[in-house]
Structure formats: C-alpha cells, structure tokens
Amino acid sequence: MVLTSVGYSQEAFYGRVGLAGIWGIDVNTGVNRLLTTTSFSGGAHVNALAYDEGVDRLIYMRDTGIPGLQTVQTMGYYDFALNQNFFLTPASGTTAVRQASNGTFHNGQYWYVESNTDDLYSMNINYGAGTYSNKVFRGSVVDNGHPLDFGDIVFDTSGNLLLSAGHTISNPGTNGTRLRLFNVTTQNDSIRGQYLGQIARLDSTYYGTDNGVFFKFNPANAAILPGYSFAILDSASDLAVRRIPEPSTTGLLALAGSLCLIRRRRA
C-alpha cells in the first residue's frame, strides 16, 4: 500500500529571556502558546534550542545571564510523547558544558557555540542514560581576528553552518552584524547578508525571529521574504522548528500498519 499526500503542520519553539519556559508559534496561523515550564533553578531561562526529529525531542540549555557558567544543571530536553522535561548530565569522562545562547541538531549530533567564546562544539546525546558525551571542538569562528557575538546557528541544506552573528561592541571589526556561512571542513566563512536574530530550518524553509517578529528568509542573501510575518510574545532567546503529522495522516499511517499486520497473519 502506497500513501500519498502525507500532510504535516509545523510549529516553531522559542525561549523568553527571564522566563523559565518554552513557547511555541504555529507557523501557519501565528498562534502562540506555552509548551512547558522548565525546572532549572536560579531564574534561568531557556536557550540553545535544537529539535531532534528522530526521537521527537527538543534539546535546550539554561541561561542565567552569567557568562561561562559551567554546571551539570545546564542541559535538558522536552519529550513531546511524554509531555515531560528531563535533565542531561555529562557522561563519565566528559566535562560539563558551559552555557550557550544558540544550538542546532545535525547528523545525529547537537551543535552549539559556547557562550563568551567563538568555540563551536558538537556532542552526542544519550537519552536512555540521560547523558551527553563525545564533546568535540569543531573550530573557532572569527572574522579576521575579530570575535563574533552569536545570535543563532543552523545548518543549511548543503551541510554548511549558517551563523546569525555580529561583532561585539567592544571589538566591532569591519563587517557589523551579519548572516554568515561557515564551512566546518575548511574553517572559512563568508557574509550572506543582514543579521537575522534567531534562525531555524525545516527542510528547505528557513525561519527567523528578531525584535518580536517571526518571518521566513532566503539563506542565499538573508532577504526576509515578503507576505509572511507573525508576532511572537517576546524577543526570542533561541529558535527551533518541529514537524507535526496532521491527524488525518496519523490515522492513515495507523491504517497502513494494521493492513500490513493483517497480511502478515494471513501469510
């Protein structure tokens, strides 16, 4: 049996500075909602959101506003099936991560740029054990020696890293705040266009949010696409997008599974 016209809806998720929770916005209707409150202590809010589609879980880091804070209570994830948050702690032999303001999921790994640095890392997430491990340094993203101040990161469809980043006020460099492209293999980066705040991708659609506005953009030149704009509840601390099967699709998939089971029994 072949199923066609499989339908999906999409929802983007974001954190809000100073509030311990994760909010969502329906990308088709612009309706905002509170997804979950988090159990981080010390007034921390959510940052470095990344969606792991393979297991339908949303990874995040805490942010207390203290640059470089290093603690085992830094990472967590939200399980959509269980409607529950869980902490992630370092596996044996793995150093606890420092805070990050941005994150993304790519090729089975969680990637982030460590706060107060330009250091890009990737690592594995072991949900069964509730740990993270294999923290690997992937490069230092700088522009001609001038450190960058990151808004967000996401991999494009070619496997290159898009950086919504700019220079710090104390070390402005020459290029200002920009959307940049970073090749992890060659360690080279190039300017694509204007700074876009928080960014995320699902398939070939790129989303961004800056100053409380949610939009789509062209990754080739950072141009915001006309005719699409919604308001979010606050200036987002980070952004991730989830694909959600439509109820009709879920029913069709369940029916297909039942038919396959019947055929096997008859065989």
Q: What pLDDT is attached to residue 117? A: 79
Domain tally, the chain? 1
Q: Does 53 map to a domain?
A: yes
- At residue 133, what are phi and psi to the nearest 5 degrees? -155, 180
Contact in structure between 162 and 181 (CB atoms under 8 Å): yes
Range of the domain at 170: 10-266
Mean pLDDT of 155-183: 72
Q: CATH code at 230?
A: 2.120.10.80
C-alpha span between 138 and 190 (Å, rounded): 17
How many Å apart are CA 218 and CA 127, to the nearest integer? 34
Tokens matching residue 267: 């065989």
Q: Rounded CA gap, 129 and 126, in Å? A: 6
State residue 85's pLDDT score. 93
Residue 199, classified by CB atoms within 10 Å of its CB into exposed (0-12), middle (13-18) or buried (19+), is buried
Mean pLDDT in residue range 108-135: 92
Structural domain contains residue 70: yes
| Any domain includes 90 | yes
Q: How far apart are CA 162 and CA 180, in angstroms?
A: 6
- The answer to whether residue 4 sits within a structural domain is no
How confident is the model over 1-60, as pLDDT tens digits? 233 334 568 999 999 887 889 999 999 999 999 999 887 766 678 889 999 999 999 999
Which positions ≥6 away from 7 have C-beta within 8 Å? 245, 246, 248, 249
Residue 1 lies in a domain: no
Give the Cβ contact number of residue 144 at 10 Å: 7
- Tell whether 3 is covered by a domain: no
Task: Using DSSP bridges, classify how beta strands 213-218 and 205-210 pair: parallel, antiparallel or unpaired.
Answer: antiparallel
- Report the amino acid identity of residue 199: I
For the segment 148-163, the average pLDDT, to the nearest whole number, is 87
pLDDT value of residue 195: 81
Whether residue 198 is contained in a domain is answered as yes
Any domain includes 168: yes
